[in-house]
């Protein structure tokens, strides 16, 4: 999770981040075009509408993708107690973008549908994130995860993905 005001780790300079990281701008363009092809494979029209709404949220943010170095796979299994630092984030998938893109794993892991809004509101408040932007990027993650599963043959959304999407869309 990119936290405002925290320096980048010493092992990653800004130039290395630019050459190694995918950008959320490029990611959003790719995920939107994939949604046009893959969303019609879903059996439920309501789920297709959900993915269209997620794609719309991403499209609104594509012009301002952010420039922070993100982990992209930050979840409780990838954060370990460390010796040189209290916590060590492992297995990063470097991405340059908006910190709101990182919230999905905390909503999805250790799933509890009653806690989605609470977790989202708490994280955006504690991290000082713009809620509207964080909502859009989190809906982008719902879209991304769902498209991966549809590409693998799924004909319906995972319950967790659909529920996070519905709650953040206010449905």
Q: Which of 73, 91, 112, 121 is catalytic?
A: 73
Known active-site residue 91: no
105-133 per-residue burial string, b: 16 or more CB within 10 A, e: under 16? bbbbeeeeeeebeebbeebbeebebeeeb
Residues 6+ apart with CB under 8 A from 53: 139, 165, 169
Nearest one of 168, 160, 151 to 37, comparing CA atoms: 151
Separation of alpha carbons 80 and 34, rounded Å = 34
Catalytic machinery residues? 73
């Amino acid at each position: 999770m990119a936290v405002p005001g925290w320096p980048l780790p010493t092992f990653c300079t800004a130039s290395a981040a630019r050459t190694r990281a995918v950008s959320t701008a490029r990611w959003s363009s790719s995920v939107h075009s994939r949604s046009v092809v893959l969303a019609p494979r879903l059996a439920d029209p309501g789920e297709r509408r959900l993915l269209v709404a997620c794609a719309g949220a991403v499209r609104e943010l594509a012009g301002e993708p952010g420039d922070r170095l993100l982990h992209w796979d930050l979840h409780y299994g990838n954060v370990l107690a460390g010796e040189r630092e209290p916590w060590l984030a492992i297995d990063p998938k470097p991405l340059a973008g908006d910190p709101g893109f990182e919230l999905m794993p905390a909503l999805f892991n250790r799933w509890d549908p009653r806690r989605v809004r609470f977790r989202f509101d708490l994280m955006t408040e504690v991290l000082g994130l713009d809620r509207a932007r964080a909502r859009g990027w989190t809906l982008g993650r719902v879209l991304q995860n769902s498209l991966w599963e549809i590409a693998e043959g799924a004909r319906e959304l995972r319950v967790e993905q659909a529920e996070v999407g519905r709650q953040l869309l206010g449905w």
